[in-house]
Amino acid sequence: MTTPAPRLLIITRDRSDRLGEGPTWSARENALYWVDILGQRLSRLDLASDAVTSWEMPDTIGWVVEREDRPGFVAGVGRRFVALTLDPVTVQPIAAPEDDREGNRFNDAKADAQGRIWAGSMPFTCDRPSGSFYRLDTDGTATRVDDDYTIANGPAIAADGSFLLHTDTALGTIFRYPVNDDGSLGPRTPFIVFEDAWGSPDGMTFDAEGGLWVGCWGGSCVTRFTPEGKRDRSIALPASQITSCTFAGPNLDRMFVTSSGDGVDEAAGGALFEVDPGVRGLPTLRYRG
């Protein structure tokens, strides 16, 4: 089932990531953004020129989400939701739901069609369930919608908004939540439980056919699951710690995959890859606050 990618590129740059994560496509800039969480860095790949630009951050940075009607991003910096602008780097707090959880950090997030952000937190040590799952509404209010995560990852939001998926990598499980009209969540149920040979589920995204693409930490691949949750196919990669993936390009037919080089001796560990997914993705949504 796991086969070499028809096209596999390693993006040329002068560094690798300790913990690459959170790739997100900016259609208005024709660029891909992604973070190095432990390296405290945000990077940008210009798809027209292939130029890579990076900015140092004041703390760990788990993700960025573009803003709909304002410049810059909302980002998970340290344990806070912040407004982030670049050139120069400025950080303004929006919400601090984790200030009482020293030792935690934000890890991954996505926006939905209503312009809200869904974000998970986790402990640096990856060894206790002190992380949570949050919804950031467009008025800047952060609500804890679930708790007891050890390594929060994902999320992925269905195209029609009726449900979302969120992962606890430590449990090897992708969970499914119904999303109610008021933004509250229904009961959490297991959707995909990884087998040991697959690695562990990390960041993920839906394609336009309803397939779910998952970065497989320890599995050296990105894997597609059918809308029913059946393992469909995998694209092998020359790094073991694969962290996330996203669709990019004007036609949303290019896939970029992040990885981590932390703690491994691999030539491609921490690289940013481009692969050919053979399917189109969904548009990247923005925060409307």
Task: Kindly report, residue by residue over 238-260, the tens digit of the pLDDT.
Answer: 999 999 999 999 999 999 999 99
pLDDT above 50 (res 200): yes
Known catalytic residues? 202
Predicted TM-score (pTM) above 0.75 = yes
CA distance 268 to 260: 9
Residue 286 domain-assigned (yes or no): no
Give the CATH number, domain containing residue 35: 2.120.10.30
Residue 285 domain-assigned (yes or no): no
What pLDDT, on the 0 to 100 scale, is given for residue 50?
97
- Match 């890859």 to its residue by tokens: 273
Which structural domain range is residue 159 located in?
Answer: 2-275
pLDDT above 50 (res 118): yes
**Structural domain count of the chain:** 1
Other beta carbons less than 10 A from residue 126's beta carbon: 12
What pLDDT, on the 0 to 100 scale, is given for residue 5?
46
Q: What is the pLDDT of residues 17-51, one digit of tens each?
A: 999 999 999 999 999 999 999 999 999 999 999 99
Residue 251 domain-assigned (yes or no): yes
Q: How far is CA 137 from CA 11, 112, 132, in A?
A: 35, 10, 16
Residue 71 domain-assigned (yes or no): yes
Q: Which two tokens stand for residue 52?
A: 């890579």
- Length of the chain, please? 289
Residue 175 domain-assigned (yes or no): yes
Residue 283 domain-assigned (yes or no): no
pLDDT above 90 (res 6): no
What pLDDT, on the 0 to 100 scale, is given for residue 2?
52
Residue 287 domain-assigned (yes or no): no
pLDDT above 70 (res 263): yes
- Identify the band that residue 162 occupies on the pLDDT scale cut at 50, 70 and 90: very high
How many CA atoms lie within 13 Å of 274's alpha carbon, on the beta-carbon side?
14
Residue 282 domain-assigned (yes or no): no
pLDDT above 50 (res 150): yes
Other beta carbons less than 10 A from residue 48's beta carbon: 8
Q: Which amino acid is at 234?
A: S
pLDDT above 50 (res 82): yes
Contact yes or no for 119/138 (Cβ under 8 A) = no
Q: How far is CA 247 from CA 175, 189, 258, in A?
A: 22, 27, 12
- Identify the band that residue 206 occupies on the pLDDT scale cut at 50, 70 and 90: very high
pLDDT above 50 (res 114): yes
pLDDT above 80 (res 3): no
